[in-house]
Amino acid sequence: MQSVDALIVGGGPGGLFMAARLAERGVRTLVCEEHARVGDPVHCTGVLSADSFPRFDLPDSATLNQLTAVRFVSPGGIPVEYATPSPLATVIDRPAFDRALGDRAIAAGAEVLAGARVSALEVEAAGVSATIGGAMVHARLVVLACGANYGFQRRFGFGLPRAYLHTAQRELRASRVADVELHFGQHVAPGGFAWAVPVVRPDGPYVRVGVMASRDVLGCYARMLKRVGERCGVTHPDLPPRQKILPLGAIDRTFGERMLAIGDAAGLVKPTTGGGIYYSIVSAALAADVAVDALARDRLDAETLSAYERAWRAELADEFEAQHELRDVVTKLSDQAIDNFFELAHTDGIMPIVRATARFNEHRSLIRAIFKHPPARRILFRALVA
């Protein structure tokens, strides 16, 4: 039986980033990725804020192109454009990004196994026994980094995310590169939005077309593709999109006896946009600090590991609360109310607020400012009393 200090279930960005952090500090770490190759299949839009790279020393070898402008489109076709002199975000090649993180973890001393599904976990006083294929592994600590799969969380009483959306996305070859587009409306994407993100690869332009919605996700995807496909010069529009479940809201508890949960596995994604890579890395960094200390002291009880949840709540809870407040309001807006809000953006001072407060990863300041703006507040909160 193989013995390790830390077993990480899932080889996505959070799990691989945490593996490197642990291994660099002398922790014997094993990552088990159930798919045959790290980075595949791709379900993510693959957009990261530019400042994430220096903050976490992320590999930039997988970057494709920078994004400096975005075009928001209302249900009635009213556009609002926003641009910055420096990049808003970076488009990454997600498989290459994950594999670069995997290579870094391996170089630090971690073991990364692909095609290795963890089918069972048993937590005992002496450690955790994991069934991986036909083999058994003994670990002192287990980290759930398995994305939007919640079997272990349910079994160990961690709870489930407060809500879910469905997503569908495909990267398609295009003949023209445009700006990012985000489309809104009850018919466009109920409970979410649809997007088109330009991608520049060495062999030419592509576009990632996708949607997050509470229902009819394939219909929403087809309508969005029809809306932007001809303009972008999309080829092979008949290729089916990849679908996944998107959690919105943290699970009840992200720690237990000898166990932590990070990233999507903990429900830690942006309630506004569904973005998960950044929060996955943030939670992995915080979890690594707690795990290293707990392993060194051989204190792996739930009370000791609860320091991880206190850490991520101290950094992210106010942000999540503000984003959920906005989501609770905007998902109740009619298409006419959304159009009214877009019209207001052209006439009544909302764009200066956006320029002063908008941040790619932190939306709380912008949300609070818009909620305090009387004309915007009238439109947004009319939905709550209608």
Q: What is the pLDDT of residues 240-278, one digit of tens each?
A: 999 999 998 999 999 999 999 999 999 999 988 888 899
Q: Are 202 and 186 in contact (CB under 8 A)?
A: no
Q: Are 91 and 44 in contact (CB under 8 A)?
A: no
pLDDT at 238 over 60: yes
- For residue 169, what pLDDT is reported? 96
pLDDT at 386 over 60: no
Host H or E run for residue 48: strand 47-49
pLDDT tens digits for range 4-41: 999 999 999 999 999 999 999 999 999 999 999 998 88
- For residue 384, what pLDDT is reported? 60
pLDDT at 112 over 60: yes
- For residue 383, what pLDDT is reported? 62
Query: Which residues have C-beta within 8 Å of that of residue 21, sequence separation ≥ 6?
Result: 284, 285, 288, 292
CA distance 220 to 214: 10
- For residue 138, what pLDDT is reported? 97
pLDDT at 128 over 80: yes
**Chain length of the chain:** 386
pLDDT tens digits for range 158-168: 999 988 999 99
Cα torsion at 301, 307, 310, 313 (round to 10°)? Answer: -100
SS3 122: strand
Host H or E run for residue 15: helix 13-24
